[in-house]
Amino acid sequence: MIKLVVGLGNPGRQYENTRHNAGFLFLDDLAAAWGCSWVSEPRFEGWLAEGGMASVRVMLLKPETFMNRSGQSVGKVARYYKLQPEEILVVHDELDFNVGVARLKKDGGHAGHNGLRDIIAHLGSNAFYRLRIGIGRPAAGRPVAEYVLSAPAKKELEMMRDAFEYCSGFMRQIVTGDMASVMSQLNAGAPKTNEINC
């Protein structure tokens, strides 16, 4: 079962709607759907919300440490609540997927994503689940850092939010540990619309 869902992003108003904050945006939508309230938790260096689904207690976490140090916050929560890596789902932006594409996977490397790199270092394991939200790659010649830290176009944001909504429909199965079923559906690429492949 999943007991902690982590959304990756950067704190601060200037980063709120940027591509790199896809994880934060997803968790904000999920918390709203679940009726959860965010509470600042300095001891965990993040914002926590708590809800329940299918009789399972689920914590939502948005680290306030900035992306490159996300593992500090995740590690503190995991140690305090004695969570195993397999009980953690990390939601993050994915350059290698087109906008609106999302995939669920377990373990693997960080593929250059500094948030994942730091989480792996602080957990001492890569055996957590990842929900990867596609943001696409920048045009040739545009620096990746500039691209991920900028806001997507209105249409792109709509596509991302459609993907959030669609993926949220799998959360009950994810939380209860029915990962094989979710992966077979979500990763098969069945589109919700002609534009969203999630």
User: Is 113 an active-site residue?
Assistant: no
Instruction: Kindly compute the dihedral angle of the four CA atoms of residues 63, 33, 197, 7, in this order, to the nearest 10 degrees.
Output: 10
Tokens of 6: 């982590």
The SS3 of residue 39 is strand
Q: Is 132 exposed, middle or buried (0-12, 13-18, 19+ CB in 10 A)?
A: buried
Among 20, 92, 113, 122, the one annotated catalytic: 20
Sheet holding 102-106, edge to edge: 39-41, 46-53, 56-63, 4-7, 88-94, 129-134, 102-106
Task: List active site positions.
Answer: 20
